[in-house]
């Protein structure tokens, strides 16, 4: 069961290359702060601009460096099924605890195409698989019926990350798939409402900078203490929203740089924030008494 507070980890760069020393510090940071799992090479980790070699190396490095101290989920989705199979097989080979596969983007497959895509990966690679539904980025949503078909046939499909404001969808997933299927919020500001409907936690962007607080929110919700979970939600709400003032992961990586955790370096077509938005972000971080150094 994957639940609680999972960080959608940034991938730090320095001088055009992956910064493995910074990556070590990020992993240690989450081990020390009680994060339940790290997701490496997800879209917050800028996976679309990593080469295949970099992608495989980051996953392998994270698994080896974590050394069982924290679960490691590898982002292995692609819009070509053979690529998703390759990335997922490598994740299993190096010892990742699970794979997160985004719905294929741009292609806009039919529901049968989506079924065949995920079924192929699940058949070929025996690793726990979490589906990733984010229609605003992919152009297509995986239907609840399709998720149900997949889960009914492939027991290694164990959960779904849901980046959608449609709470009826969350209710349907929970009602049809039961408590053993891990629904995870893919949007920090929707974690509380999703968990009130039976989701198990969040794959969080904000967790990159406030891991203890995101962990507290999910722990309260899992315990059924929704009064305290709601208090934490409203405490963090302004931060949740400012981290999406521009395209993710630009603001959160900029925030990590402001806090001295990495360089402020992206790969095109991602670029630095507008100065006025960067200033808004800096002001919000200071409101939360975070240690801004840049």
Q: Which of 161, 200, 215, 253 is catalytic?
A: 161
H helices then E strands: how many in the chain? 12, 10
β 157-162/129-133 pair status: parallel
In contact, 74 and 54? CB cutoff 8 Å: no
Dist. CA 217–CA 5, nearest whole Å = 9
pTM: 0.96
Q: What distances in angstroms separate CA 143 from CA 8, 31, 102, 173, one per listed residue?
A: 24, 35, 14, 10
- Burial class from Cβ neighbours inside 10 Å (0-12, 13-18, 19+) for residue 154 reads middle
Q: For residue 74, which phi and psi values (nearest 5 degrees)?
A: -105, 130
pLDDT for the residue 9:
98
The predicted structure's pLDDT at residue 200: 98
Between CA 254 and CA 265 the distance in angstroms is: 8
Cα–Cα distance between 186 and 201 in angstroms, integer? 9
| Alpha-carbon torsion (135, 141, 147, 150), positive or negative | negative
182: which strand partners?
A: 159
Cα atoms in the Cβ-side hemisphere of radius 13 Å centred on 120: 15
Q: Which of 105, 115, 132, 220 is catalytic?
A: 132
Residue 249: asked if its preceding bond is cis (omega within 30°), the reply is yes
Give the orientation angle of helix 226-242 with respect to helix 211-223, to 10 degrees.
Answer: 150
CB-based contact 134:141 (threshold 8 Å):
no
Q: What is the full per-residue pLDDT of the chain (294 aa) written as tens digits? A: 799 999 999 999 999 999 999 999 999 999 999 999 999 999 999 999 999 999 999 999 999 999 999 999 999 999 999 999 999 999 999 999 999 999 999 999 999 999 999 999 999 999 999 999 999 999 999 999 999 999 999 999 999 999 999 999 999 999 999 999 999 999 999 999 999 999 999 999 999 999 999 999 999 999 999 999 999 999 999 999 999 999 999 999 999 999 999 999 999 999 999 999 999 999 999 999 999 999
Q: What is the CATH code for 4-223? A: 3.20.20.70
Q: Is 132 a catalytic residue?
A: yes
Widest CA span of the chain, in angstroms? 51
Judge contact between 217 and 244, C-beta under 8 A.
Answer: no
The pLDDT assigned to 68 comes to 97
Return the pLDDT at 53: 96
Is 200 one of the catalytic residues?
no
Give pLDDT, residue 1: 79
Residue at token pair 């392998």: 60
């Amino acid at each position: 069961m994957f639940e609680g507070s999972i960080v959608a980890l940034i991938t730090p760069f320095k001088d055009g290359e992956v910064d493995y020393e910074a990556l070590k510090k990020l992993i240690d940071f989450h081990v020390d702060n009680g994060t339940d799992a790290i997701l490496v090479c997800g879209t917050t980790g800028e996976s679309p601009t990593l080469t295949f070699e970099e992608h495989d190396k980051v996953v392998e490095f994270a698994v080896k460096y974590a050394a069982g101290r924290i679960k490691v989920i590898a982002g292995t989705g692609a819009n070509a099924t053979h690529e998703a199979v390759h990335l997922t097989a490598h994740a299993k080979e190096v010892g990742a605890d699970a794979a997160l596969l985004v719905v294929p983007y741009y292609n806009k497959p039919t529901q049968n195409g989506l079924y065949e895509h995920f079924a192929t990966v699940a058949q070929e690679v025996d690793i726990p698989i979490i589906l990733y539904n984010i229609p605003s980025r992919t152009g297509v949503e995986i239907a609840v019926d399709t998720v149900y078909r997949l889960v009914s046939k492939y027991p290694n499909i164990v959960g779904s990350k849901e980046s959608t404001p449609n709470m009826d969808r969350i209710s349907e997933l929970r009602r049809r798939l039961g408590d053993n299927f891990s629904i995870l919020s893919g949007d920090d500001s929707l974690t509380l409402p999703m968990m009130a409907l039976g989701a198990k936690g969040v794959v969080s962007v904000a967790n990159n900078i406030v891991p203890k607080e995101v962990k507290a929110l999910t722990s309260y919700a899992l315990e059924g203490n929704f009064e305290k979970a709601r208090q934490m939600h409203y405490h963090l709400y302004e931060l949740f929203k400012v981290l999406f003032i521009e395209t993710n992961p630009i603001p959160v990586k900029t925030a990590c740089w402001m806090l001295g955790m990495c360089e402020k370096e992206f790969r095109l077509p991602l670029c630095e924030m507008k100065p006025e938005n960067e200033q808004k972000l800096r002001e919000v971080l200071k409101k939360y008494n975070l240690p801004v150094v840049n």
